[in-house]
């Protein structure tokens, strides 16, 4: 994982013009390595999740032009295809950028990296990598990923980086999500008794 991280860091620091091929290869190398080493536990159960996500951040092209504010609200339904490891789904939402409201939509893939265990309480959160490609109604073509933590299969908190290869900009955002399809677990006793 360290080597994959250094590879991606090398891509971002050595090359002024990052090509899509290098960017995708970097993200895929990290994703495949992590998926091969991910733990299997009850954090990604079978079934659907539906996250309502609010996010905001900035859009930049790393020149002297001012950075633009971006904010959005999106729905992201996902189906667990490999329990404990992998979800696939899509994202659809609205964004506010450059004094305009636009729509975005596209597929995503979520890989569970690791879980935080709390002994008698079980796992309380997991760390995920979400890769996605989004198309926007204002000519956006976003390819990127999110590093996020899912807390109790209830909330998501994360940071995303997307490359808009259509408009030649970078999007940096932070966000919070809420699982609208969260099921209550039945038959669980208090571990402190």
Distance CA 7, CA 27 (A): 10
Q: Which residue has the tokens 């504010």?
A: 69
Domain ranges of the chain: 1-37, 42-179
**Can you give the pTM of this predicted structure?**
0.72
Phi, psi (degrees; rounded to nearest 5) at 37: -105, 5
| 151/93: higher pLDDT | 93
CATH of 42-179, picked from 2.40.160.20, 3.40.50.10470, 3.30.390.50, 3.80.10.10, is: 2.40.160.20
Residues 6+ apart with CB under 8 A from 65: none
Give, as one character, the DSSP assignment of residue 85. Answer: T
Taking all residues of the chain, what is their mean pLDDT, rounded to a whole number? 82
Give the pLDDT of residue 35. Answer: 52
- Residue 74 CB coordination number (10 Å): 21
Give the pLDDT of residue 116. Answer: 82
Q: What tens digit of pLDDT does each residue of 19-49 get?
A: 667 767 766 766 665 555 444 455 778 889 9
Give the pLDDT of residue 44. Answer: 78
Burial class for 132, CB neighbours closer than 10 Å (0-12, 13-18, 19+):
buried
Q: What tens digit of pLDDT does each residue of 49-70 get?
A: 999 999 999 999 988 888 899 9
Give the pLDDT of residue 182. Answer: 78
Q: What tens digit of pLDDT does each residue of 169-180 get?
A: 999 999 999 999
């Amino acid at each position: 994982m360290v080597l994959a991280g250094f590879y991606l860091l090398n891509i971002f620091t050595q090359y002024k013009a990052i090509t899509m091929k290098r960017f995708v290869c970097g993200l895929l190398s990290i994703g495949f390595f992590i998926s091969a080493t991910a733990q299997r536990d009850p954090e990604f159960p079978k079934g659907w999740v539906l996250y309502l996500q609010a996010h905001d951040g900035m859009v930049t092209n790393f020149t002297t032009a001012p950075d633009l504010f971006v904010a959005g609200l999106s729905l992201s339904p996902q189906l667990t295809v490999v329990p404990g490891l992998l979800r696939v789904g899509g994202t659809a939402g609205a964004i506010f950028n450059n004094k305009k409201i636009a729509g975005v939509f596209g597929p995503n893939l979520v890989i569970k990296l690791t879980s935080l265990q709390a002994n008698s309480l079980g796992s309380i959160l997991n760390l995920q990598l979400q890769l996605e490609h989004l198309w926007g109604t204002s000519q956006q073509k976003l390819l990127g990923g999110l590093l996020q933590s899912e807390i109790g299969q209830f909330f998501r908190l994360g940071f995303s980086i997307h490359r808009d290869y259509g408009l030649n900009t970078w999007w940096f955002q932070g966000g919070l999500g809420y699982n609208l399809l969260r099921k209550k677990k039945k038959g669980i006793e208090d571990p402190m008794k």
